[in-house]
């Protein structure tokens, strides 16, 4: 597999930006450029000092818009976004494992840099995170107090599922002790007999076997993994920053 994906291209040059640059000495141009280029200290400036641009600027902006669209189209052609994906035959031998180490770091980065949260159904989260458990909303149109917490929980479950899928040994955590297996000759009824009189071999624990297997614990983790993948599919279109 080879993947080359560049960042998103944004080639749009607004007609107003062009006019602001051409008439750079005017007060209205300086105000617009200050709005676009203000520093942290500049944000404390009095907004009442803002100067509106003259009406003729709007008329010229309409005339310049076809030029802006043409420039945008040309730049899209000569500087397109790179999206190259090559899939090799072995990439789909175990596609779920192939994708896991790619999706996992993306989910981690999304959790660290997200600026919003999609709507998550109450049925998909624990009771203490549901909208019914949140404090009353001040306004009807507000999101409830658990809105972002629900999405953070869902992301954690997705991340957990892909972390486990990226590991080949997670099931070993539920096995302990020493394995001592012996193959014992038995008759048709399953009774131990001497070799030569046996009908089959039966696998039995040897005298040194101390192995234990936490079946219930592994099942709980597997259910969490399965639910994490279910949430990934259900909220796939909510994976945005």
pLDDT at 38 over 60: no
pLDDT computed for residue 40 by the predictor: 45
Q: Measured between alpha carbons, how far is residue 82 from residues 77, 98, 133, 162 in Å?
A: 11, 22, 46, 27
Q: Which of 26, 13, 31 lies closest to 56, judged by CA?
A: 26
Q: What is the pLDDT of residues 121-170, one digit of tens each?
A: 999 999 999 999 999 888 888 899 999 999 999 999 999 999 999 998 99
CA distance 233 to 241: 17
pLDDT computed for residue 241 by the predictor: 87
pLDDT computed for residue 44 by the predictor: 53
Strand partners of residue 192:
186
DSSP 107-130: HHHHHHH--------GGGS-GGGS
Q: Which residues contact 232 (CB under 8 A, 6 or more apart)?
A: 103, 158, 161, 162
pLDDT at 45 over 70: no
Which pLDDT band holds residue 201 (cuts at 50, 70, 90)? confident
pLDDT computed for residue 140 by the predictor: 83
Contact 108, 159 (CB under 8 A): yes
pLDDT at 42 over 70: no
CA distance 134 to 145: 5
SS3 content of the chain, % helix, strand, coil (to 5): 55, 10, 35
pLDDT computed for residue 69 by the predictor: 95
Pairing assessment for the beta strands 2-5 and 83-86 based on DSSP bridges: antiparallel
Q: What is the pLDDT of residues 206-233, one digit of tens each?
A: 888 888 889 999 999 999 999 999 999 9
CA angle 52, 58, 63 (to 5 degrees): 155
Token reading at 60: 């010229």
Q: Which of 18, 15, 13 lies closest to 61, judged by CA?
A: 15
Which pLDDT band holds residue 48 (cuts at 50, 70, 90)? low
DSSP 180-199: -EEEEEE-TTS-B--TTS-S
Q: What is the pLDDT of residues 80-129, one digit of tens each?
A: 999 999 999 999 999 999 999 999 999 999 999 999 999 999 999 999 99
């Amino acid at each position: 597999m080879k993947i080359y994906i560049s960042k998103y291209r944004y080639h749009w040059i607004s007609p107003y930006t062009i006019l602001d640059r051409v008439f750079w000495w005017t007060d209205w141009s300086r105000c617009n450029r200050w709005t676009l280029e203000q520093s942290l200290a500049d944000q404390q400036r009095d907004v009442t000092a803002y100067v509106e641009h003259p009406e003729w600027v709007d008329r010229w902006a309409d005339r310049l818009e076809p030029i802006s669209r043409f420039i945008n189209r040309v730049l899209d052609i000569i500087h397109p976004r790179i999206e190259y994906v090559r899939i090799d035959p072995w990439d789909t031998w175990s596609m779920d494992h192939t994708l896991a180490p790619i999706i996992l770091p993306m989910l981690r980065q999304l959790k660290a840099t997200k600026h919003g949260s999609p709507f998550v159904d109450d049925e998909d989260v624990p009771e203490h995170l549901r909208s019914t458990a949140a404090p009353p909303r001040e306004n009807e149109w507000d999101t409830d107090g658990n809105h972002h917490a629900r999405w953070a929980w869902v992301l954690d479950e997705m991340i957990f599922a892909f972390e486990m899928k990226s590991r080949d040994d997670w099931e070993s955590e539920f096995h302990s002790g020493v394995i001592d297996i012996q193959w014992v000759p038995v008759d048709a009824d399953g009774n131990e007999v001497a070799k030569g009189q046996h009908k089959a071999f039966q696998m039995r624990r040897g005298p040194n076997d101390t192995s234990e297997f936490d079946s219930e614990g592994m099942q709980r983790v597997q259910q969490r993994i399965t639910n994490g993948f279910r949430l990934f599919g259900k909220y796939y279109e909510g994976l945005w920053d």
